[in-house]
């Protein structure tokens, strides 16, 4: 099985991100081939500060 998923870096990572995306992503690696991405351009719809977007992307 192939799995593709992404996360939007619109804010600082929190516990909800961990249980909602990160932990399941780690578990899914056991199921097959996985690909994950950071959806930077999607974050532009809610975050207008380029510096904050860059910092959030690096934190993810």
Predicted pLDDT at 8: 79
Predicted pLDDT at 28: 92
26 beta partners: none
- 8 with 43: CB under 8 angstroms? yes
Tokens encoding 16: 């909800």
The residue extents of the domains of the chain are 2-59
The predicted model gives 18-36 an average pLDDT of 92
Q: In whole angstroms, what is the distance from residue 10 CA to residue 40 CA?
A: 8
| Confidence check: pLDDT of 42 > 70 | no
Predicted pLDDT at 49: 74
Predicted pLDDT at 34: 95
Q: Is the pTM of this model over 0.75?
A: no
Q: In whole angstroms, what is the distance from residue 11 CA to residue 59 CA?
A: 10
């Amino acid at each position: 099985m192939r799995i593709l998923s992404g996360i939007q870096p619109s804010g600082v990572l929190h516990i909800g991100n961990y249980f909602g995306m990160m932990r399941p992503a780690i578990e899914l690696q056991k199921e097959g081939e996985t690909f994950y991405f950071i959806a930077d351009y999607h974050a532009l719809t809610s975050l207008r500060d380029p510096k904050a977007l860059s910092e959030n992307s690096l934190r993810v």
